[in-house]
Each structure stands twice: as C-alpha cells, then as structure tokens.
Amino acid sequence: MITDFHFLRPWWLLAVVSAALLVWLIDRQTDMRARWRNLIAPNLLEHLLIDHVRTRGLRPVHLIAGLLALSAIAAAGPTWEKERPPFVEDRAPLAIAIDLGPTMDATDISPTRLERVKLKVQDIMERRKGARTALFAYAGSAHMVLPLTDDASLVATYVAALSPALMPVQGKDTAKVLEVIETALADETAPGTILFMTDGVERASFPAFADYKGRNDLMVLGVGTPEGGPVRIGNGEYLTDASGARVQARLDVDALKGLQSVSGVQVATVTLDDGDVDWIVRRIQSAFTQKTDEGLQRWRDFGWYLTIPIALLVILTFRRGHKIHWLGMLVVLLLPLGVATKAEAADFVDAWLTQDQQGQRSFRSGDYGAAADHFEDVAWRGAALYRAGHYQDAIDAFAQSTDAGSYYNQGNALMHLDKAEEAITAYQQALKQRPAWPEAEANLKLAERRKKEKDDQEKEQQQEQAGLDPDQIQFDDKGKKGKEGQVNVAAQTAEMWMRNIQVSPADLLARKFAIEASGEKPK
C-alpha cells in the first residue's frame, strides 16, 4: 500500500513553500536588531532594545504556517487506494446462455439436464440479489430471451418457459450465441460475465473462444455425465437413432478440457450440491474485481479527511494575544450553519461534510433515496432518483439543467416511463449540444423504434376493433408479424417488454425465435 502512495494534484505542494516563506518573512520583520543595525551603533543598540531576549517556542505565525502546509497537502490529494466510480454497478452484469438442443432433455441428471439448469439459474439469481442478469437461448440459432434486468421473478418466468421445442433451427452453434451476447453487452459500462450452460461445446466453435478479445469473462458449465442417459422427447417416449435404439447422450468432458486449454475459458461440470453455483458466483465477482482494477477504478482522494485536523488547528487560534483569532471566529460562525442543514444527523462526522458529500456517502452505500434527499447538485440528485426508480422525479431534477448530459439523462428516464416521443425530443436536444454522441444516437434510434411500435400497435388495435369480432384472434404472419412479433427486446427494458406480452412466455418466445431465424428482425 505504501508503494502506491502519491498525490493526485502534486502542484499544490508548492504552497508548502509559501508556509515556510511566511515564517521567514515574519521573523525578519520582528527582528529589531536587523532593522536598527544600520542606524544605531552596536554598543548602544543592546541597551536601547527593551525586548532584548528573543522570544522562542511556538508563535501564532507557526500555527498559520502549519495550517497553510496542511491545507496544501489536502488540496494535493494524497491517495494510496483505488475506488470504483459511483455510476459503475457494484455487481457484475451476467449473461446466461442456455443450450436448448434436444440432448438437454437427457435424463442422466434428474429430472433432466435442462430442468437442472433451470434450478441452477434460480440459485444463481438468489445469490446475486440486485445484480443484473440477461438471458439467451441457443441451438442451431441464437436468440435473446431477456435483456439485462435485476427482476429475478421475470428471469424465473422466462427460464421456466424454455424448452428445445422453442428452437426453430436444430443443431448447435455456440460461436453464434457468443457473438449475439457480445453485441448485446457492447454498451455496458462495467465488464461482465458470459456463462454457457450446455451439455457440450462443438469443436467448430473453439476458434471463436480462442480468438475472443472482449472484456467479458467466459465460463462454461458442462451439464451431464460421461456415462450419459436417454433423451426424453415426450411422455414415456425417448429419442432413438435410425436403428430404433435409444440415443445415449454423453457429456464430452475431454472436449470441455480441450476448450479450456486452447482458450483459457473457465470450465466446470454440474454438481448435485451447490458447489457449482458457489464457484460461478465467486468467479463472477473475482473476474469483475480484476477487470475493474485494470481500467474502471480511480484513485480515492483522502485529502478531504485533513479538513478535520485543519479545523481543529483553527480553533487553537482562540488564544489571548493572538492577532489571528478572527480566522477561528469565521470557522465558528460557519460551522453551525453546516450543522443546521443536517440537524437530524446523529454522526458527529456529518457536521464536517457538505450535503453533497453526505449524498455521495449514501449513494456509495446504495441508499439512493437518502442520497437524493441530501444532494444539492441537481445532476447527482437526478442520478440518485433514477437509481431509486423514481423516474419522474429524476426527470424533474435533470430538467433544472440545460446541458447535453441533462437532456440525455431525461431521455433515459422517459424511456423507463415508456414515453418514447418525449424521449426522442430529449435525445435530439442532447445531440444538438453534443453532436456525434454515440450513446445518445443509439438511444435515439431505440426511442424512435419504440415510438413506431406503439404507433403500429395502435393502428392494429383500431383495425382489429373495426374488422374483427370480439372473440376472434388473428395473426398476420405475412405482414407485420402481429403485435406480439413486434417486440424488440434489445431496444426495451424488461418492464417495457412485459407490458407488451399478450400470450404465454413460451408462445411469445417461439414466435420471436421463428421470426429471427427467418432472417427478419422483430420490428
């Protein structure tokens, strides 16, 4: 730790020189012998000086010099420890890719491989409460099931709906799902983890893992046993080969070891207890910590801690005969004002912190509601309200500023409220002030797409009301793919997507996967 000690703003240390210079100047000014040496004969000077014994020990000037030096050190920003920026999530985002090939219904792991995977996903979600998780499914094609969300119940709903019958393309293309996930996580600030839960990775996909240059950590959990088991395809029915014999699906452990050796991907096999879940959760967090250490962390400024001893030194100026007691008086006058704004604070240290500093403490601890109550800075207050899920209040806070970042943040909050039209206006204002802003341009496209979806849905509803009987249901597979087929999960939050669900999750996913596999993207 001592080897990491340095100053964030070392030029402030030059002010320490001014402290030494102040002592020298005061000493020179108060040296009566030096002032009268050229005017009075030396043999008379000693008899004329009343203060012939020079004062020794600490004097007021030394206290002021100490305050200046200590203040200079504080302003220089001493540091020896790193911290994570406040807008970076404390928990690593996780993308889970579940293999939905037919062999995932093998019964060598009770009740089946896929059902055991579903239970493991629930256990992982339970261990990572509050963290964001995305869900993907793949076989011969790869599809997003859910974008990143911290809603564990929503993830559980869609995990339960997954089955090999949903997949429009048979086979296995692990490299394709890796590409799809990497694209989906491209705009994430924090590095994440991609977890493949599969009964095998085909050797044709090994190069994709070996050549992977992304910042996300890759993990593979092999599901199955080397001995294998029959593949259930129905009630009492099992998958058979051309000769009519039951297929014994086996886990190729050697292939998984080969994948780990050529790519460095972390590989493990499923266990009957929670050992595999513990390994996954530990690996996710350790990989996240390592990645943030490499680039996302910043040095923590410890200089503000020195304000407490500085204030205590100022109080010492209240001494009879000191000519600088007005400085201490100023602190005494200002200190009650700071305490009055936080009258309910039980912690004495809060008396030395501004409202924004107290807000940052609450923000770092995850108490966003308390942080919003403290912050005077509108941008920080808006960020705290946004994190707390109070999107309309966040918009009101962001609206007090007119810079590009404020409009961008308003657009994000409006999208959470499903107000795409207002969000478009906000993103456009942000781009006027800051042209070619990639994040704002991307979000503007998403907002425009969402507005088009809402307009199309409204038109369809009007057409249905005009041309269909109340109990009649009709899907337009040749036109706009029906209302359910229009949901663009990549462009919406999980909450916005849920409001568009008109059928069961399994039916929705089957239609969505079929549309994507046909080469068309849901509009």
3-state SS, one letter per residue, for 394-433: HHHHHCCCCCHHHHHHHHHHHHHCCCHHHHHHHHHHHHHH
User: Rounded to the nearest 5 degrees, what angle is found at the Cα of 418, between the Cα atoms of 412 and 423?
Assistant: 45
- End-to-end, the C-alpha distance of the chain in Å comes to 54
Strand residue runs (E) in 279-405: 298-299
b/e sequence 198-224, b meaning 16+ C-beta within 10 Å: bbbbeeebbebbeebeeebbbbbbbbb
502: CB partners within 8 A, 6+ apart: 483, 484
Q: In this structure, what token pair is assigned to residue 101?
A: 């090939």
User: Tell me, what's the pLDDT at 158?
Assistant: 92
CATH top-level class for 94-293?
A: alpha beta
Please determine whether the domains at 94-293 and 353-453 fall in the same fold group of CATH.
no
Tell me which amino acid residue 521 is.
K
Burial class (CB in 10 A: 0-12, 13-18, 19+), 177: buried
User: Tell me, what's the pLDDT at 48?
Assistant: 67
| DSSP for 438-506, written as a single string | HHHHHHHHHHHHHHHHHHHHHHHHHHHHHHS-TT-----TTTT-TTGGG--GGGS-HHHHHTT--S-HH
Residues in the chain: 523
User: Tell me, what's the pLDDT at 140?
Assistant: 92
CA 481/CA 511 separation, integer angstroms = 9
Among the CATH numbers 3.40.718.10, 3.30.420.40, 1.25.40.10, 3.40.50.300, which is that of 353-453? Answer: 1.25.40.10
Element (H or E) spanning 24, and its range? helix 15-30
Is the peptide bond between 191 and the residue preceding it cis, with omega within 30 degrees of 0?
no
User: Tell me, what's the pLDDT at 297?
Assistant: 59
* Full-model pTM: 0.50
Give the other-Cβ count within 10 Å of 420's Cβ: 23
Q: What are the two backbone dihedrals, phi and then psi, of residue 134, each rounded to the nearest 5 degrees? A: -110, 155
User: Tell me, what's the pLDDT at 349?
Assistant: 45
Residues with pLDDT less than 50, the chain? 52, 87-90, 324-349, 471-502, 522-523
Domain residue ranges in the chain: 6-85+302-328, 94-293, 353-453
pLDDT, tens digit (0-9, with 9 covering 90-100), for 63-112: 777 878 888 888 888 888 876 555 444 467 899 999 999 999 999 998 99
CA 87/CA 500 separation, integer angstroms = 30
